[in-house]
Chains A and B, each alone.
Chain A
Amino acid sequence: MPKINLKPALMLSVMVFAACVTVNIYFPAAEVRQAAEEIAKDVRGQGSSQDPADTGAGEPQSFLNLIGTAYAQQELAISNATIRQIKERMKARYAQLAPFLKQGVIGESAKGLLVIRDTGSINLKARAEAKRQVSAENSDRTALYSAVSKALNIPGSELAKVQEIFAKEWQKTAPQGTWIEPAKGKWEQR
């Protein structure tokens, strides 16, 4: 019986199989960074000034207005109704958060979330308020990161990257006195 050399056939099969495997790696870092920059600046009032006429207030009533009234905000690289509204809520909350950031009570973590840093300088009522604001803000930020990821077709496994990019923008736009965590575990005060 003639001896069949299977080795070349096997190698060929492996090569063919390997050639069929396609790995797509794409993380839209530039888009996320742009969105993070725009959102952070807008929330913290560092974006382009608004046209007061765009507030939508006092518009005549019309059937078309059922869609909505007040969309007076900066146009973002990536957005949808959820992102827009979360951003508006965060923008409204920033007035309450800013004093705590400036006092060093709360800090901007490397994960893009707020953390309580030092409540020694405030009384218990203020501490409760700071914690509630942080909790609400973190809840919105988590929803925001998820919404941005979804809008950019970023899988859930890459959510940490989105958070890191946002973290840098939050830290960049934080007021003086804020504790920031540029690298994991290393805190410094702006």
Chain B
Amino acid sequence: MAEKSVKTTTKKRKGIWILGIFFLSAALLLGSLYTFLPLLIKKLAPIVARSEGYVVRLSEVRTSYGFITFEKIRISHKEISGEIQRISVEYSLWPFGLNKIKLEKPDFIVTPEASTGSDFRLNRTLVGLLEKVSIVNGEIQLKTTSFVTSLSSLSIDRNELSSSVQKPNNLSSASTLSGLISVVTPGIQAEGDLKGMLDWNSTRFRLVSKGEIIVNKSQGRTAYDLKTSGRIEAQMDELSAEADLAVHDLCSIFPSLSRKKSKNDSTGNIRQPCYVSISTSIRYLLGEGLNASGKLALKDTRLSSISGIPTIQGIWQMKASPDLKNGFIDAGFEPRELPISIKLSWPGENGNQWEAIAGISSTNYDFSNLKGSLLSGLGNIIADAFVTPDSWQVSTSLDVKDLSWARDENYAVEGISSKIEFFANYDGSPKNVSWEANLEWNEGAALVYPWFLDLFQLAASIKTTGTLDKKKLLFNKIAVSGPFELVATEVSLDYGLNDNVAKLAQWKMPKIQFLKANGRLEIPYEVLLQEPFSVNYGFLNDLVPRGTWLVELEQDGLRTGIKTDIFFSGHDVIQGMDLNLAYSINTDKCRPGLIKWDRLTWPPLDLEKTKIPLTICKNNLSCGQVKIPVAQGEISLKKISWDWLASSLSLRGLRLIGINLKALWPDLPLRVDIEAYLDQGIWSDPRLNFNGELLFNTAGGKIRFQNIWIEPLAPMPRFGADVVFHDLDLAQLSDAAHFGRIAGKLTGHIDNLIMSGGQPESFELMMENDPSASGPKKISLEAVEKISVLGGGGSIPLFGRMFKEFPYRRIGISCSLKNDMFTLHGLIKKDGQEYLVERGFIRGVDVINRNPNSKISFKDMLDRLKRITRTEQE
């Protein structure tokens, strides 16, 4: 029993020892393994890699629980070589899996080779797209001839994605990626973050990037959003993806696309934002190249304001060789149903060589599609542009029929038939662009209020050729043929360009080598003056010129000449008129002019061979030292001047000397000689006030007009003055007026006389016989009767009619007019009564105003005057 017990004990001890030795061995093995694992890895890894075609050398491998760290790993392959300073691997033993791999300072160069082996196809796929991939200090750089893409701060994590993320993209077993991306081209660069996911099983991926696009030169910035998703084929020889790129304000980096500027009170001009979005479907097949197509939308750009469409949309497609060294992009737009095609191709080995062809072609295009309903009509449009980096050509032809357009009630065209051609060529020479433009019209009408232009009557063609550079627009030749002929050569317009090419800075006056224009006078007179202004100035309907006009360039100015006869109501009122005027250009120098005529016949005026010198200064036309013989006398003028900008008129030294009105109107019952001394006429809008007086010598006495003014531009031309008269022989006056006969001298005055359109508007008249005058004071029966009629009636007693005339002591009458109401008073107050005529000492007749408060309407007064004239006629 004891022996059995000893045996059992011995067996147990042996088992314990074996177990102990096993565990000790296992521990030692594991310890050795743990201790020598880095060395093992260091030795085995190059062997394993070599079997895959890689040469790998590790400087050091360190392990700890859940971590392995590789130091200074050199890897080379026939297409890739480089060094990684450290690779940190984080793993879990149970369940076993890699949690994180971190690469520190990887520095690689990938160089494409001609080999088409299948062992590194992804690399070649990338290299096919890109010329060079390098990883320097952890930054991956993808370089092409035209841009460099850099990925930095990359972090790749394998995550169990939540179902909400997986479902829409069908991603499983995905890794997430985050980092920074920058794309640099010579003109612009983009910087932003990068987030994405890659499903290793399905090879589906999704990348999202947000950041800024920056223009290198101007440092203009705008935000972008890029979303792309797609799939890499399992064999690594095909890539397909969908991408959406949105640039929030394209105009801030390309100002020339800006629609318009608006004012900001505090900061001045601000640009209106414009937006671009591109959607793309990309398919890249190894050996076939890159195929992409998609849609492009531009919103609120300059194109929008031209076409009137807020968003311009189009489709595009691209085909390119695997190395992108040649290919083309075709884009098509149809804004307002106007087909526009653009083709950009880069056919050469040299990546800088490219060319673009843009074209518009439409037959019977309906212009009502453009800009709302303001434009209508049909037209054939052909426009082509060919552009290379060094040159371009543009050719356009527009043939319109029945075109109508209206901006508002003042500017419109209707039924226009016109042809416009434009050619331009830039051959790369630094000097200029040469161009040719032709325009002709032969039908339709245009309204540029107040002018209406019948374009059938005014059919014309304009042909121009010229050149353009950054400082000057030069018309080599301008030729107009139509209602007038015009030829101009070497017309140059200097201007400066600011940073915005499309915006022209301050234009200067053109320099012209030669200019001559001439034509008949009838059509421009009818179109430019008669038709628009005869509504207000009816005399224009009766006025017709028959002659020619000429405009010629002279040194520092223009000279115009008009040779014409002028007809008024069918009568040739001015024969052989010659008007020559000259204007200075670019200087303030005054230039002389002349108006002369062979004969002016404007009854009662009849002037032969007259010359009037004129002077034109900046905005001022004047004539001076004029002497015109008129009616046995003379009209002389020192100077009359008209400033058309200030709408002011001034006059100096107007003299009328010895003008006999009876010579002008032989039927005039009295001789009237006029003299005037109007030293100065001063304009005070709307009135021209004269200093001086106008004197009428008639009937042995004088009538003086003082404080004279005229309002020539008032709705009704008005004239005003204060009048004083004296020593007028009443006998002559009463005879001339068929007013009976009154002997005596008349004196008096008219205050505040205003004539409107030739009719009296208001006045205050006082007249009486001059008591100091010698000679008889007699008044005829007829004159008494007519004074009575003017006063409102009254009859002479029968016995009074026995006498043909009566002595009078005094005549005194005052009369005023205001608001078409006359008041008539006798100036002689006696016994509480007003006498218009007071009888003589012994006998005579009294004319008494019985109703001194009565007012006589203008119409009644006219009736009374008619009764007087009827009586006289009877």
For residues 84 through 136 of chain A, which have their beta carbon under 8 Å from a beta carbon of chain B? 84-86, 93, 116, 119, 123-125, 127-129, 131-133, 135-136
Residue of B nearest to A150 (CB): B819
B453 CB to closest chain A CB (Å) equals 9
User: B413, B736, B762: which contacts A80 (Cβ < 8 A)?
Assistant: B762
On whether the beta carbons of B536 and A139 are closer than 8 Å, the reply is yes
Q: A151 in the interface, Cβ–Cβ < 8 Å? A: yes
Measured CA separation A68–B409 after assembly (Å): 41
Q: B851-874 interface mask toward A, CB cutoff 8 Å, 1 = contact, 0 = none?
A: 000000111001001101100110
Q: CB < 8 Å: which of A63, A86, A129 contacts B738? A: A63
Given A62-B737, A71-B859, A84-B820, residue A124 in contact with residue B873 (CB < 8 A)? no
Q: Cα distance A92–B504 when bound, in Å? A: 50
A76–B755 CA distance with the chains assembled, in angstroms? 19
- A9 sits at the interface (CB 8 A): no
A59 partner residues in chain B, CB cutoff 8 A: 866, 869
**A143 close to chain B: CB less than 8 A:** yes
B124-174 at interface with A (beta carbon < 8 Å): none
State whether B820 touches A76 (Cβ < 8 A).
yes
User: Counting CB contacts under 8 A, is A81 at the interface?
Assistant: yes
Whether, in the assembled complex, B80 has its beta carbon less than 8 Å from a beta carbon of chain A, the answer is no
Q: Closest Cβ of chain A: how far from B672's Cβ, in Å? A: 11
Please pick, from B413, B535, B667, the residue contacting A135 in the complex, using a CB distance under 8 A: B535
- Does B715 touch A at the CB level, under 8 Å? yes
In the complex, how many angstroms separate the beta carbon of A165 from the nearest chain B beta carbon? 18
Task: Assess whether A140 is in contact with B715, with CB atoms less than 8 Å apart.
Answer: yes
Across-interface contacts of A63 in B (CB, < 8 A)? 669, 736-739
One of A78, A82, A85, A136 near B535 (C-beta < 8 A): A136
Docked pose: A13 CA to B367 CA in angstroms: 78
| Contact across chains for A85 and B756 when beta carbons are under 8 A apart | yes
B375-418: which have CB < 8 Å to A? 409-410, 412-414
Contact segment of B189-197, B443-451, B799-807: B443-451
Contact A62 B869 (CB under 8 A): yes
Distance between Cα atoms of A20 and B757 in the complex (Å): 45
Which one of B445, B715, B756, B868 has the highest number of Cβ atoms from chain A below 10 Å of its Cβ?
A: B715
| Bound-complex Cα distance A116 to B757 (A) | 29
Does B366 interact with chain A (Cβ within 8 Å)?
Answer: no
User: Is A82 a contact of B736 with CB atoms below 8 Å?
Assistant: no
Please determine whether B715 and A131 come into contact, CB atoms closer than 8 angstroms: no
Bound CA span A82–B449, Å: 29
- Say yes or no for B759: interface residue by CB 8 A criterion: yes
Q: Are B414 and A139 in contact (CB under 8 A)?
A: no
| Residue of A65, A85, A139 ringed by the most chain B CB atoms within 10 A | A85
Q: Mark B747-787, 1 if CB is under 8 A from A, else 0.
A: 00000001111111110000000000000000000000000
Most buried by B among A61, A93, A127: A127
Q: Is the CB of B869 within 8 A of A131?
A: no
Query: Are A64 and B820 in touch, CB under 8 angstroms?
Result: no
Interface string of B707-741 (1 = CB under 8 A from A): 00000001110100000000000000000111100
Residue of A64, A127, A139 near B447 (CB, 8 A) is A127
Interface code A51-81, partner B: CB below 8 Å = 1, 0 otherwise? 0000000011111110110010001101111
Which of A71, A78, A79, A81 gathers the greatest number of chain B CB atoms within 10 Å? A81
* Cβ contact within 8 Å between A64 and B716: no
CA distance A119 to B718 in the complex (A): 36
CB nearest to B444 among chain A residues = A124
Tell me whether B38 is interfacial, beta carbon within 8 Å. Answer: no
A82 close to B414 (CB less than 8 A): no
- Nearest A residue to B859 via CB reads A75
**Which residues in B have their C-beta under 8 angstroms from that of A81?**
716, 754-757, 759-761, 820
Total count of chain B residues near the partner, CB < 8 A: 48
Residue of A63, A79, A86, A133 most packed against chain B (CB within 10 A): A63
Q: Which residues of the other chain, B, contact A116 by a CB distance below 8 angstroms?
A: 409
Given A60-B873, A67-B760, A82 and B715 contact (CB-CB distance below 8 Å):
yes
Q: Is residue B452 within 8 Å, beta carbon to beta carbon, of the partner chain?
A: yes
**Bound complex: CA A124 to CA B451 (Å):** 11
A65 to B669, CA, bound (A): 13
Q: Which residues of A contact B446 (CB under 8 A)?
A: 124
Which residue of the partner chain A has the closest CB to B667? A61
Are A68 and B759 within 8 A (Cβ)?
yes
Interface residues in A121-169 (C-beta closer than 8 Å to B): 123-125, 127-129, 131-133, 135-136, 139-140, 143, 151
Q: Within 8 Å CB of A71, what residues of B?
A: 759, 858-859, 862
Residues of A contacting B859 with CB < 8 Å? 71, 75
A139 to B535, CA, bound (A): 11
Assess A82 versus B447: contact at CB under 8 Å? Given A59-B866, A139-B536. no
Instruction: Say yes or no: is B310 at the interface (Cβ < 8 Å to chain A).
Output: no
Query: For the complex, is B532 an interface residue (Cβ under 8 Å from A)?
Result: yes
Shortest Cβ distance from B448 into A: residue: A128
Interface size of A by CB at 8 A reads 38
State the Cβ distance, B831 to closest chain A Cβ, in Å: 32
Check A125/B445 contact, CB under 8 A, given A80-B761, A140-B715. yes
Nearest Cβ distance between residue A73 and chain B, in whole angstroms?
A: 8
CA distance A146 to B410 in the complex (A): 27
> Roughly how many angstroms separate A151 CA and B756 CA in the complex, as a whole number?
14
Please report which residues of chain A, range 27-73, place their CB below 8 angstroms from some CB of chain B when the two chains form the complex.
59-65, 67-68, 71
Asked whether A64 lies within 8 Å of B715 as measured between CB atoms, the reply is: no
CB distance from B461 to the nearest CB of A (A): 22
Report whether A124 and B820 are in contact in the complex, using a CB–CB cutoff of 8 Å. Answer: no
- Interchain nearest-CB distance for B604 vs A (Å): 15
How far does the alpha carbon of A87 sit from the alpha carbon of B866 in the complex, in Å? 23
Pair A82/B412 contact, Cβ less than 8 Å: no
Q: Residues of B contacting A79 with CB < 8 Å?
A: 819-820, 858
B858 touches A127 (CB 8 A): no
Which chain A residue has the least Cβ–Cβ distance from B670? A63
Residues in A with CB closer than 8 Å to B412 are 124, 127
Q: Are A151 and B819 neighbours in the complex by a CB distance under 8 Å?
A: yes
B535 pairs with A132, CB closer than 8 A: yes
Residues of B within 8 A of A136 (CB): 535-536
B536 / chain A contacts, CB cutoff of 8 Å: 136, 139
* A185 CA / B754 CA spacing, docked (Å): 40
Partner of B449 from the list A61, A128, A140 (CB cut-off 8 Å) is: A128
**A67-B759, A81-B759 are known contacts. Are A62 and B452 too (CB-CB below 8 A)?**
no
Residue of A nearest to B532 (CB): A132
Residues of chain B contacted by A131 (CB below 8 angstroms): 409-410, 449-450
Of the candidates A80, A131, A139, the one having the most CB atoms from chain B within 10 angstroms of its own CB is A80
A69 vs B757: C-alpha distance when bound (angstroms): 13
Query: In the assembled complex, which residues on chain A have CB atoms less than 8 Å from the CB atom of B667?
Result: 61
Chain A residues with Cβ under 8 A from B756's Cβ? Answer: 80-82, 85
Taking CB atoms, residues of chain A closer than 8 Å to B532 are 128, 132
| CA of A80 to CA of B818, assembled, Å | 7
Q: Which residues of chain B are within 8 angstroms of A80 by Cβ–Cβ distance?
A: 756, 761-762, 818-820
Q: Whose C-beta in chain B lies nearest to the C-beta of A128? A: B452
Nearest chain A CB to B856 CB, angstrom units:
12
Task: Tell which of A61, A78, A123 touches B445, judged by Cβ atoms closer than 8 Å.
Answer: A123
The CA-CA distance from A143 to B446 in the complex, in Å, is 31
Return A89 CB to nearest CB of chain B, in Å: 8
Q: A63-B736, A125-B452 are in contact. Are A78 and B715 (CB under 8 A)?
A: no
Roughly how many angstroms separate A65 CA and B865 CA in the complex, as a whole number?
8
Known: A125-B452, A139-B715. 4 other contacts (CB 8 A): A81-B761, A131-B449, A133-B535, A151-B819
The 6 closest A-B pairs by CB, nearest first: A143-B715, A128-B452, A81-B761, A81-B756, A63-B737, A81-B759
- Could you list 27 examples of A-B contacts with CB < 8 Å? A59-B866, A61-B667, A63-B736, A64-B739, A64-B865, A64-B868, A65-B865, A67-B865, A68-B759, A68-B760, A71-B858, A75-B857, A75-B859, A79-B858, A80-B818, A84-B759, A85-B759, A123-B414, A124-B447, A131-B409, A132-B535, A133-B535, A136-B535, A136-B536, A139-B715, A143-B714, A143-B716
Residues of B at the A interface (CB closer than 8 Å) are: 409-410, 412-414, 445-447, 449-452, 454, 532, 535-536, 667, 669, 714-716, 718, 736-739, 754-762, 818-820, 857-859, 862, 865-866, 868-869, 872-873
